[in-house]
């Protein structure tokens, strides 16, 4: 038996890094809920193939869900790097939903505003200050410039790049890890291969000496971030500006929808909570099963 880490998952076939080689493994039976970042035990069948026997318990798991199923993104993360950009467009609801998923899975977040070389970015950079005030780490970068600051945030950690399609996740990854050769936007445009360039999550090792290394997972851009798996309590806890006002509403079971004496609605009225964040919170609460 050997142990290793899942670096890619294609249906029921998995690439495992055992520290020396990349081994292609399958699972026994129909089990397929294994994801990039998982630690596994496998029995080798040949030098470069094997069968996964066991998945070690996860420290955490980032995933989305709709009414029907969960969509696993990555496991055993030290950090989620949520990438946003003003071009092609900024989708605040997607950012908010990513943050909620990370909060509820106890995964620290770094918000990366990419494409600082474009003039459209300045307005968004100012808007994102609200998120800094909420306590999120945030940096502004360009994949076309020096990435030392981003590098320092990634050093020694396992991080996953998440966000909408076209924000530059794979471009950043290729600059950080020149050997990665991940497909980026230009390639798909050239091949006219549709909108999403990255179609599968993949884990890469960051270059550097033993003290400065780390792992970085690229993931496919998402259109939607379903959060069907979250309870009312988890949702309330995943918004820092709601969490910090717990117990301040007139009714102990206030859902912050339109109750009188609601401290959260009062904060929103006073400009202390972004209207978009209140709207996303309320729509998530509204979708919960009664
Ligand atoms: N101007 C500018 N363009 C960038 C920057 N970073 C990435 N791009 C461009 O943005 C486009 C999309 O980049 P990708 O890296 O493929 O985006 P992605 O987030 O990986 O997209 P998906 O794989 O579909 O999720 C490409 O044309 C990149 O060249 C940047 O810092 N500045
Ligand atoms: Mg990509
Ligand atoms: Zn309330």
Model confidence pLDDT, tens digit, residues 9-34: 988 899 999 999 999 999 987 777 99
Same domain, 15 and 67: no
Same domain, 50 and 175: no
Same domain, 199 and 91: yes
Q: What is the model's pLDDT at position 74?
A: 98
Domain boundary among 167, 185, 218: 218
Q: Which two tokens stand for residue 261?
A: 């004496």
- In a domain, residue 100? The reply is yes
Same domain, 172 and 36: no
**pLDDT above 50: residue 213:** yes
**pLDDT above 80: residue 281:** yes
* Residue 15 phi, psi (nearest 5): -100, 125
Q: Whose CA is nearest to atom 26 of ligand 1?
A: 185
Residues whose beta carbons lie less than 5 angstroms from ion ligand 3: 249, 254, 256, 262, 264
Instruction: Say yes or no: CB of residue 167 within 6 Å of ligand 1.
Output: yes
Instruction: Say yes or no: CB of residue 189 within 6 Å of ligand 1.
Output: no
Same domain, 189 and 239: no
**Predicted confidence (pLDDT) per residue in 141-163, tens digit:** 999 999 999 999 999 999 999 99
Strand (E) or helix (H) holding 226:
none
Mean model confidence pLDDT for the chain: 93
**Predicted confidence (pLDDT) per residue in 163-195, tens digit:** 999 999 999 999 999 888 877 875 444 444 445
Cα 128 to ligand 3 centroid, rounded to whole Å? 25
Structurally, how many domains does the chain consist of?
3
Domain boundary among 39, 55, 71: 55
- Between vectors from CA 145 to CA 166 and to CA 205, what angle results, nearest 5°? 70
Same domain, 8 and 106: no
Nearest CA-CA partner of 47 in 23, 16, 12: 23
pLDDT band, very low/low/confident/very high, at 196 (cuts 50, 70, 90): low
Same domain, 193 and 68: yes
- Per the CB < 8 A criterion, the answer to whether 185 and 156 are in contact is no
Domain span holding position 201 = 61-218
- In a domain, residue 7? The reply is yes
Q: What is the model's pLDDT at position 96?
A: 98
- In a domain, residue 224? The reply is no
**pLDDT above 50: residue 1:** yes
Same domain, 201 and 249: no
pTM score of the predicted model: 0.95
**Predicted confidence (pLDDT) per residue in 84-98, tens digit:** 999 999 999 999 999
Q: Which two tokens stand for residue 122?
A: 């300045």
Same domain, 36 and 128: no
Q: What is the model's pLDDT at position 195?
A: 58
User: What ligand 1 atom has the least distance to the C-alpha of 219?
Assistant: 25
Q: Whose CA is nearest to atom 10 of ligand 1?
A: 168
Q: Which residues of 184-211 are buried (b: 16+ CB within 10 A; e: fewer)?
A: bbeebeeeeeeeebbeebbbbebeeeee
- In a domain, residue 123? The reply is yes
Cα 35 to ligand 1 centroid, rounded to whole Å? 24
Question: Hey, how many other C-beta atoms are within 10 angstroms of the C-beta on 259?
Answer: 15
Nearest CA-CA partner of 5 in 39, 42, 47: 39
- In a domain, residue 142? The reply is yes
Same domain, 11 and 155: no
Q: Which two tokens stand for residue 61?
A: 């798991």
- In a domain, residue 168? The reply is yes
**Predicted confidence (pLDDT) per residue in 102-149, tens digit:** 999 999 999 999 999 999 999 999 999 999 999 999 999 999 999 999
Same domain, 106 and 205: yes
Same domain, 207 and 244: no
Instruction: Say yes or no: CB of residue 185 within 6 Å of ligand 1.
Output: yes
Domain boundary among 36, 55, 74: 55
- Per the CB < 8 A criterion, the answer to whether 224 and 73 are in contact is no
Cα 14 to ligand 1 centroid, rounded to whole Å? 27
How many residues are there in the chain?
Answer: 290
- In a domain, residue 174? The reply is yes
Cα 174 to ligand 1 centroid, rounded to whole Å? 11
Nearest CA-CA partner of 40 in 75, 86, 10: 75
Ligand nearest to the Cα of 117, by number? 1
């Amino acid at each position: 038996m050997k142990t290793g880490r899942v670096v890619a998952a294609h249906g029921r076939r998995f690439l495992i890094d055992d520290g020396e080689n990349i081994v292609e493994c399958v699972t026994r039976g129909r089990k397929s809920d294994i994801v990039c970042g998982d630690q596994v035990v496998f029995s080798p069948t040949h030098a470069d193939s094997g069968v996964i026997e066991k998945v070690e318990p996860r420290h955490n798991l980032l995933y989305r869900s709709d009414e029907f199923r969960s969509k696993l993104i990555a496991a055993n993360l030290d950090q989620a790097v949520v990438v946003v950009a003003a071009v092609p467009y900024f989708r605040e609801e997607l950012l908010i939903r990513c943050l909620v998923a990370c909060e509820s899975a106890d995964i620290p977040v770094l918000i990366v505003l990419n494409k600082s070389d474009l003039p459209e970015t300045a307005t968004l950079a100012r808007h994102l200050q609200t998120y800094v005030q909420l306590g999120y780490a945030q940096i502004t970068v360009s994949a076309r410039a020096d990435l030392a600051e981003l590098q320092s945030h990634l050093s020694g950690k396992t991080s996953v790049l998440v966000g909408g399609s076209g924000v530059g996740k794979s471009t950043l990854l290729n600059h950080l890890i020149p050997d990665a050769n991940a497909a980026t936007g230009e390639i798909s445009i050239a091949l006219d291969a549709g909108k999403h360039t990255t179609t599968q999550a993949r884990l890469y090792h960051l270059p550097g000496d033993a003290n400065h290394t780390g792992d970085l997972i690229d993931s496919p851009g998402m259109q939607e971030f379903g959060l069907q798996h979250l309870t009312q309590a988890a949702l309330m806890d995943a918004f820092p500006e709601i969490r910090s006002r717990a117990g301040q509403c007139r009714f102990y079971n206030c859902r912050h929808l339109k109750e009188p004496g609601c401290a959260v609605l009062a904060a929103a009225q006073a400009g202390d909570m972004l209207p978009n964040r209140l709207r996303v919170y309320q729509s998530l609460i509204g979708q919960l099963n009664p």
